[in-house]
């Protein structure tokens, strides 16, 4: 099974609607595909958020009848009576609602659909790092320990800064997977709040003003600079997260100027 087929059936797989053979095929593909595994995890985080917010949708009989009629039309008017489990129909209706909610909550992130998708991935990765208790692969507040740890593991060298004096201490770093590639995740604290800063190479032009959004209660700030795409995400309030981003950008400019002077 390839990526397209896997992601076409992903919702049904997550909801346990597939037969054993299909389930085994998808799980075999997921075992060797980071992109589809990421998509599965993103769907689960989104569904959990919808359930937590009390937004689950129960399929009404009228909608069930409409879905049956649509399926009959697609099967070219078969005279055989369709026997469609109510649970499957409820799942179909729920997926329609999930799609609508996803579009609504993602609209503020950016006018570009690619940024919308990445925003969702960023939030999912942030939440997953908290739930799985896997914040760091290298735990240290020493930038000279954290930065060298990434050497040989990535095709770029990230800048790492400790902002302890500004109230944003470095906690460590880890490898993550976003935008179909391995990325840097630098972890900072602000009191009891965790900030994940994701960085990977990008051909986008440098950003003048960082773009901000709120998704499922998490603040996101995105900008591009020095050939990198940068995404900061946290449950910290928007003002302090923007302060953190400004400190990171200022430190990066100072480092760049020093490198140019050498």
For the ranges 45-59, 111-125, 154-168, the maximum mean pLDDT occurs at: 154-168
pLDDT for position 103 = 45
Residue partners of 213: CB distance under 8 A and separation at least 6:
108, 109, 110, 119, 219, 220, 222
Cβ pair 96, 135 in contact under 8 A: no
pLDDT for position 172 = 96
For the ranges 71-80, 97-106, 111-120, the maximum mean pLDDT occurs at: 111-120
More confident residue, 6 or 245: 245
pLDDT for position 19 = 79
Identify the band that residue 260 occupies on the pLDDT scale cut at 50, 70 and 90.
confident
Residue 165, SS3 per DSSP: helix
Tell me 205's DSSP state.
Answer: P
More confident residue, 250 or 35: 250
More confident residue, 71 or 10: 10
Mean local confidence (pLDDT), 133-140: 89
Mean local confidence (pLDDT), 79-95: 49
More confident residue, 50 or 109: 50
CA distance readout (Å), 171 to 80, 90, 122, 151, 234: 62, 44, 19, 18, 14
Residue partners of 107: CB distance under 8 A and separation at least 6:
116
pLDDT for position 108 = 44
Mean local confidence (pLDDT), 59-86: 63
pLDDT for position 180 = 84
Residue 255 has pLDDT above 70, yes or no: yes
Residue 101 has pLDDT above 90, yes or no: no
- Give this prediction's pTM: 0.60
In order of their start, the domains of the chain are: 3-105 (no CATH), 112-261 (3.30.200.100)
Residue 94 has pLDDT above 60, yes or no: no
| Tokens encoding 66 | 């409409």
């Amino acid at each position: 099974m390839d990526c397209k087929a896997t992601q076409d059936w992903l919702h049904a797989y997550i909801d346990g609607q597939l037969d054993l053979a299909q389930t085994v095929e998808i799980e075999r593909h997921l075992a060797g595909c980071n992109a589809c595994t990421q998509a599965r995890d993103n769907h689960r985080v989104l569904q959990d958020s919808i359930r937590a917010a009390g937004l689950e949708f129960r399929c009404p009989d009228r909608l069930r009848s409409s879905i049956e009629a649509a399926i009959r039309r697609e099967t070219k008017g078969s005279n055989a009576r369709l026997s469609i489990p109510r649970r499957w129909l409820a799942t179909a209706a729920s997926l329609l609602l999930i799609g609508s909610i996803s579009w609504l909550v993602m609209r503020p992130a950016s006018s570009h659909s690619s940024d919308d998708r990445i925003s969702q991935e960023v939030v999912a990765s942030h939440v997953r790092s908290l739930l799985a208790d896997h914040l760091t692969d290298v735990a240290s507040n020493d930038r000279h320990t954290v930065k060298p740890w990434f050497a040989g593991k990535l095709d770029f060298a990230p800048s790492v800064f400790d902002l302890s004096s500004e109230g944003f201490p470095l906690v460590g770093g880890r490898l993550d997977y976003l935008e179909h590639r391995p990325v840097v995740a630098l972890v900072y604290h602000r009191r009891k709040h965790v900030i994940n800063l994701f960085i990977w190479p990008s051909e986008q032009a440098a950003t003048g003003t960082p773009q901000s959004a709120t998704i499922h209660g998490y603040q996101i700030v995105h900008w591009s600079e020095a050939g990198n795409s940068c995404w900061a995400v946290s449950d910290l309030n928007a003002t302090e997260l923007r302060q953190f981003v400004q400190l990171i950008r200022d430190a990066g400019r100072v480092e760049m100027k020093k490198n140019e002077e050498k």
